[in-house]
Amino acid sequence: MNILDTAPVDTLLTDDLLRRLDVPGPRYTSYPTADRFVEAFGAEAYRQALRQRAQGAVVGGAQPLSIYVHIPFCEQLCYYCACNKIITKHKSRGAEYLLDLQREIELHAAELGRGQPVSQLHLGGGSPTFLSDEELAQLMAMLRAAFKLQPEAEISIEVDPRTATRERLRNLAAMGFNRVSFGIQDFDPEVQVAVHRVQSFDSVRELVAEARALRFESINADLIYGLPKQTPESFRRTIAQVAELRPTRVAMYAYAHLPQRFKPQRRIDDHALPTAEQRIQMLRAGLAGFVANGYTYIGMDHFALPGDALAIAKRQGRLHRNFQGYTTQPDCDLVSLGVSAIGRIGATYSQNAKTLPEYHDALAQGNFPIVRGLALTRDDLIRRAVIMALMCQGRVEFESIELAHLVKMREVFAPELEQLQPLQALGLVELGEREIQVTATGWFFVRAVAMVFDRHLQADRVRERFSRII
């Protein structure tokens, strides 16, 4: 059942709760989080993780992979952006980048063997559609030559509506893409000018209609609240327009204004940003608006129509989470390709070089471009299991953790269970003898619940590098 069916949003999200819990915190697309990666984990450690996977596949059969490809190029700068991107109009850079991706793909094929099954492929950025249709087709051919995309694989791509056309969507469908994500952010003209991302509602409506006609299995729309010039009233209009488009999924992110970390954000006028109270009103408007239009609240920032695979997975308790956010894919290894891409192999995380020269130089020398990463400890693995259970199912059953990791929850996590008491008093969790249950209200603040079990975060208390929970 949709947790919002039990009470109105305004009842669940009181002003007192929103004020108390409007604090920075990780999004937990991984645990430990990427800020904990170390340079001591490099290319050789990554190679060893790949070899261990390959050896395990020989014994027990290869489990399907997930693949992420980062395309860093954009033709125009969006002022709010915190992604790793390169602004350029020189299309020749795409062809050069494909040569490096080919080298990186071949390095993986050499360690894993060709034909590894792949159940999920995602192209992100930047703007993947910076590449021409011919270049995208070349990239897909390279991937198919090294890996085996399963017939039911989720194959998705992020599309910039400003540069996409109906013909381009038809070409993407012909290449095998079955999921598409449109970066909308906001439809208000003043907001679009303020963030340097102008696109009309009519143009996006045409693209969504074409994607639906082409029978893409999932059509996602990305929104951001908290942008300059936004008001609760203008954002309600955007919500209504997106609901009219009827995408199968909606991601509604809170804008994190961190100009000290992200240089493009320095072009945003701080005085044009909405107040904390206005942000709360926008959040409420989004939650109430999409639920009223028939969407299931998946968790954190995500909504999906009831028939979408993500909503079905939520109802059936099969929701998972990886570096791309909520997913239907089970806990699987993630091979990430491209500059700055973050991946996971076994009990390790890794990240590629963040600059093109460093990325290119490593590959030119025949090395993986890994510059940092992490080998998870036993404690990390136990805490990851607890945090992901909270983030995905909203429930931790002690027995399942104890059997999988040979620990006693009440002994190992005695301090954390004590720290949950105030959250229980606020009505966010229910603590039983053998389980932790996130409440309907707590689901909106599930990051705050998960943070209690984050040993690294509790140790240093330095949280300014994270976005705010609300």
| 80 assigned to a ligand binding site | yes
Residues 23 and 166 grouped into a single domain: no
CA 295 – CA 85 distance, rounded (Å): 32
Cα-Cα-Cα-Cα dihedral of 190, 195, 198, 204, to 10°? Answer: -100
Residues 180 and 151 grouped into a single domain: yes
| 184 assigned to a ligand binding site | no
Q: What is the DSSP string of 383-419?
A: HHHHHHHHHHHSEEEHHHHHHHHT--HHHHTHHHHHH
Of 334, 363, 388, the last residue of a domain is 334
The pLDDT score that the predictor gives to residue 462 is: 54
The pLDDT score that the predictor gives to residue 120 is: 95
- CATH value at residue 147: 3.80.30.20
Residues 83 and 2 grouped into a single domain: no
| 164 assigned to a ligand binding site | no
Residues 128 and 61 grouped into a single domain: yes
- Strands 334-337 vs 65-71: parallel, antiparallel or unpaired: parallel
| 359 assigned to a ligand binding site | no
What's the whole-model pTM score? 0.92
Cα-Cα-Cα-Cα dihedral of 112, 117, 123, 128, to 10°? Answer: 80
| 281 assigned to a ligand binding site | no
The pLDDT score that the predictor gives to residue 4 is: 47
The pLDDT score that the predictor gives to residue 458 is: 80
Q: Could you tell me if residue 366 is inside a domain?
A: no
Residues 246 and 267 grouped into a single domain: yes
Residues 187 and 202 grouped into a single domain: yes
| 81 assigned to a ligand binding site | yes
Residues 265 and 144 grouped into a single domain: yes
Residues 266 and 176 grouped into a single domain: yes
| 125 assigned to a ligand binding site | yes
pLDDT 10s digit of each residue in the chain, 470 long? 444 444 556 666 676 777 777 777 888 989 999 999 999 999 999 999 999 999 986 555 678 999 999 999 999 999 999 888 999 989 899 999 999 999 999 999 999 999 999 999 999 999 999 999 999 999 999 999 999 999 999 999 999 999 899 999 999 999 999 999 999 999 999 999 999 999 999 999 999 999 999 999 999 999 999 999 999 999 999 999 999 999 999 999 989 888 988 899 999 999 999 998 898 889 889 988 999 999 999 988 899 999 999 999 999 888 988 888 888 887 789 999 999 999 999 999 999 999 999 999 999 999 999 999 999 999 999 999 999 999 999 999 999 999 999 999 999 999 999 999 999 999 999 999 999 999 988 888 899 999 999 999 887 655 555 666 66
| 270 assigned to a ligand binding site | no
Residues 188 and 234 grouped into a single domain: yes
| 78 assigned to a ligand binding site | yes
| 185 assigned to a ligand binding site | yes
Q: Among residues 379, 458, 470, which one has the least CA distance to residue 419?
A: 458
CA 371 – CA 355 distance, rounded (Å): 11
Q: Could you tell me if residue 358 is inside a domain?
A: no
Please state the separation of Cα 366 from the chain's center in Å: 30
The pLDDT score that the predictor gives to residue 325 is: 83
The pLDDT score that the predictor gives to residue 2 is: 44
- Report helix, strand or coil for 109: helix
Residues 274 and 235 grouped into a single domain: yes
| 76 assigned to a ligand binding site | no
| 205 assigned to a ligand binding site | no
Residues 146 and 27 grouped into a single domain: no
Token pair for 156:
């998705």
The pLDDT score that the predictor gives to residue 331 is: 76
| 158 assigned to a ligand binding site | yes
- Ramachandran area for residue 126 (φ above 0: left; ψ -120 to 50: alpha; else beta): left
The pLDDT score that the predictor gives to residue 27 is: 87
Q: Could you tell me if residue 341 is inside a domain?
A: no
Domain total of the chain? 2
Q: Could you tell me if residue 344 is inside a domain?
A: no
Of 334, 366, 386, the last residue of a domain is 334
- Domain span including residue 104: 36-334
Tally Cβ neighbours within 10 Å of residue 409: 22
Residues 301 and 432 grouped into a single domain: no
DSSP 255: P
